[in-house]
Amino acid sequence: MNQTSPDPVRKLFQDILLDRPPSTLPLVDAPEVVTTPIPIGDDDPLAPIMDAAAREAREQDGRQ
């Protein structure tokens, strides 16, 4: 059933890649370090935990 009909997803990906400004930094600009950020959405159960930890880091930073 493999088909080569018009594929809007493929078109979308092409458009995104074409629209990407050439000056945009790559996600990671440190060749000796490998990392791929994992986005944590608002509905992720880790989100409130991360927010609380970040808030404490900012509060602590303000005291120093």
Give the x-and-dash track for 16-35 against other proteins (CB under 8 A): xxx-x---xxxxxxx-xxxx
Unique residue bearing structure tokens 């050439």 = 22
Residue 19 Cβ vs other proteins, minimum distance, rounded to whole Å: 10
What three-state secondary structure class fits 21? coil
Residue 43 Cβ vs other proteins, minimum distance, rounded to whole Å: 8
36 makes contact with other proteins (CB under 8 A): yes
Residues in the chain: 64
Tell me the CA distances in angstroms from 55 to 15, 35, 62, one per residue in order.
38, 24, 11
Q: Which residues bind other proteins (CB under 8 A)?
A: 1-18, 20, 24-30, 32-41, 44-64
